[in-house]
Amino acid sequence: MFTPLTRPDLGAASSTAQIYCRPTCFVDRPHELDDDCLRVADTMVWFAAWHVSLRDDAVVKSAIVPVPEFGEWIAAMPDALAQAATAQRAATIRPRGTLQLGERILRLNEPQLMGILNVTPDSFSDGGKTVDTAAAVDAGFAMASAGAAIVDVGGESTRPGAPLVWEGDEIQRIEGVVAGLARGGVAVSIDTRKAAVMEAALAAGAGIVNDISALRYDDRAMEVVVKAGCPVVLMHAPSAKSDPHEGGGYDHVLFDVYDMLAERVAACTAAGINPAKIIVDPGLGFGKGVADNLALINGLALFHTLGCPVLFGASRKRMIGALDNEAPADQRLGGTVALHYQAATQGAQLLRVHDIAENRQALRVWRGLRDAALTV
């Protein structure tokens, strides 16, 4: 239930209260608003208001605050909340620049596609299709040709109930695929939570580590990423154990996921990872029900206040079937495109998908609409 927030509420907040300032009221013609809107990083997304939420014990109060009035609201906050809100504003509008992936430079001023290449026999939607190294390399090249800026190679299924794969088997599955794609000039990320697999993939030419455990599963993972100096994706999952879907009880899913990712960004920065190389992912479907996933999608813009590029991945996920008469995984393309288009409208910089051509087309339409709004 919505509880309104007023400025006097801020002054009465307890010492343990938390503030969350989410960009909202997105606009496509910012030039008509002069200084009354702000830009999300260096994307093509502008917003005219903040959705300010005060979380104090179990109570959440919220208000829509126009951009020009935000400073007055900050002035009404206790020092700790004011510092947090000021930092969130600065982080939101700070340019993300580019990601250096070997000899490739990935610009983050518009959404980029990350292609999903599972070299597994049991992934939920494409298991067994590319277990052969040559077939997997060909599939990766096809993704790059269709418009994938990055190909994300994974050798272990993380679907609910999937068995744990020994790291030696995982390396055997991914090493030749990563090497083949990297030699062909494709930017490759490695989807793994195991340090030994990260090391093997990076040595074979991978440029990004994509870890569903946010570098919590393997005690050596942080060390590997720090030493490599590579970009890293920190994804939210409720558990860092073998089953990443364990747990998942949330008081407020958007804020709970945000808090965990904020803690991981801080821990990685303290360990020596360049904050400009950290990417965050709210982890749709990992220990989250349909209602949880929908709340995260609707509130996705909050994650920009962490100051990191946002990766969004809803491709073929179960929530689409749950919303459409239990459609099987291979019949969820329409829902996939719709969800990733929604993420683009909220400024997500990276979209992780199976079907490159269809999502690329949707993004070209999205870009055309943005260009037209700015020029016509």
61 catalytically annotated: no
Strand partners, 191: 154, 210
Pairing of strands 46-56, 38-39: antiparallel
Give the integer Cα–Cα distance in Å for 29 and 104. Answer: 32
∠ CA 182-185-188 to the nearest 5 degrees?
45
Give the integer Cα–Cα distance in Å for 211 and 136. Answer: 21
Give the integer Cα–Cα distance in Å for 89 and 104. Answer: 30
- Which one of 89, 96, 318, 352 is the catalytic residue? 352
Pairing of strands 150-154, 188-191: parallel
Give the integer Cα–Cα distance in Å for 152 and 208. Answer: 9
Pairing of strands 98-101, 232-235: unpaired
Give the integer Cα–Cα distance in Å for 64 and 52. Answer: 6
Total Cβ atoms within 10 A of residue 326 = 10
Give the integer Cα–Cα distance in Å for 58 and 326. Answer: 34
Which of 350, 8, 7 is closest to 189 using CA atoms?
350
Sign of the alpha-carbon dihedral angle for 10, 296, 214, 139:
negative
Give the integer Cα–Cα distance in Å for 310 and 332. Answer: 23
Token pair listed for 69: 């009035």
- Which one of 317, 318, 332, 370 is the catalytic residue? 317
317 catalytically annotated: yes
Give the integer Cα–Cα distance in Å for 320 and 99. Answer: 31
Catalytic residues: 317, 352
